[in-house]
Amino acid sequence: MAIRFKAPAKINLCLHVLGQRPNGFHILDSLVAFLDCGEWIELRKASKTTLQIIGPQSEKLPLGADNLVLRAADIFPAGCTTEILLHKTMPISSGIGGGSSNAAATLRGMSELWNIPSPDIVAQLSLGSDVPVCMWSKPVVMQGTGEVISELSYIPPLFACLVNPARAVSTAIVFNQHVFVETLQWV
């Protein structure tokens, strides 16, 4: 039996970087929303954990040990061996949370597949600051280094067109250079 989980694209409608902790992590205050589009993960029990990547962006994503989907799968007990299929459509390093959303979908999916609780916030944060917010996959306020998440009661529909110039952007480099987009401009 295979199960499929959506891994929607994430956008920061507002992003404020308030400082940096001694461990290097940035302190954030961000209004986060998720798009109706994105990627998906399909999982099924298997004799060993494997990852296959398909889709238009599949050739650009490495299958190495640093892949967030494989790192998410490694959080589970050794007996939870899973065949994972990732349909990769979002550009790599585009700032819309593709890897984090895929990791969150893997965590949710493996928890359901193996009927065990989802990994805690510490384990989620070990994969990246955006992974906990991607576990929610709905509009929220994210604060701290990603560990404080507040649900929003209402956010109006947003119709957006995202354009990607096919140039990878490193979040770490952007944050370290203090080049920030403070607020999404409403049209």
Residue 12, H or E segment: strand 2-20
Residue 172, H or E segment: helix 171-177
Structural domains of the chain, ranges and CATH numbers in brackets: 2-155+166-176 (3.30.230.10)
Q: What pLDDT was estimated at residue 176?
A: 65
Task: Write the DSSP string, 39-94.
Answer: EEEEEEE-SS-EEEEESTTGGGS--STT-HHHHHHHTS-TT--EEEEEE--SPTTS
pLDDT tens for each residue of the chain, 187 residues long = 899 999 999 999 998 888 888 888 889 999 999 999 999 999 999 999 999 999 999 998 888 888 999 999 999 999 999 999 999 999 888 888 999 999 999 999 999 999 999 999 999 999 999 999 999 999 999 999 999 999 998 889 888 888 888 888 777 666 666 544 444 444 3
Q: Name the nearest CA neighbour of 5 among 106, 131, 127.
A: 106
Residue 68 main-chain phi, psi, to 5 deg: -65, -30
Q: What pLDDT was estimated at residue 162?
A: 83
Tokens of residue 163, six digits: 């354009």
CA distance readout (Å), 159 to 70, 134, 136, 147, 165: 33, 20, 20, 28, 20
Q: What pLDDT was estimated at residue 180?
A: 45
Say if CB 34 and CB 8 are below 8 A apart: yes
Residues 40, 102: Cα–Cα separation, whole Å:
7
Q: What pLDDT was estimated at residue 181?
A: 45
- Active site positions, annotated: 10, 130
Q: What pLDDT was estimated at residue 186?
A: 43
